[in-house]
Amino acid sequence: MYTLLILDRVDEDKITFKDEEIEKRYRWLKEFSSKIPIYCEYGAVSKHVRHKIRTEGLHLNSHKQLSDELEFLSSSDKIDEYVGALIDFMEFQTHKLSPENILCASSEIVESGFGKLKTLIGEDKKLGYTTFALSIAACFGPELDKGFMKHAL
């Protein structure tokens, strides 16, 4: 929406351009001023969906919950179509899940695991990744006993 504010100020000549380069950078936006609001709505819908999936994961009823939440955002046919496509995609991706399953839909945990692994390897560089493969499970999982470790090796 900042773009619309800039365009309003350009239209009202409230922004005075001190050199031609700045004027060139903003004047072209006028050509797209009618489309910017719909792009902002696409962004708002996408941001909401991304946040929901990252914080709650995906489960059997994700698409239903999201449909209820996004109902208020439908302000045009294009947005309705976009929301519908997102809901259909989520339903397709989750329809085979059992009710108790929740899929983690964020890479932060995996990234954190590799970060911890790199830290461990950094302490003893000569051993490499293979030697430390089980250490990722030890960082995130329950306490591992000797029997579990022998079975895993």
Q: Report how many domains make up the chain.
A: 3
The residues facing 58 across adjacent strands are: 103
Same domain, 24 and 41: no
Q: Give the number of C-alpha atoms closer than 13 A to the C-alpha of residue 31, restricted to the C-beta side.
A: 5
Q: Which two tokens stand for residue 25?
A: 């950078």
3-state secondary structure of 141: coil
Same domain, 147 and 117: yes
Q: Which two tokens stand for residue 101?
A: 């399953």
Same domain, 64 and 27: no
Domain membership of residue 85 (yes or no) is: yes
Asked whether the whole model's pTM tops 0.85, one would answer: no
At 108-149, the pLDDT tens digits run 777 887 787 777 777 666 666 677 777 777 776 666 666 766
Domain membership of residue 56 (yes or no) is: yes
Same domain, 25 and 64: no
Same domain, 14 and 56: no
Same domain, 88 and 112: no
At 22-48, the pLDDT tens digits run 667 777 777 777 888 888 889 889 998
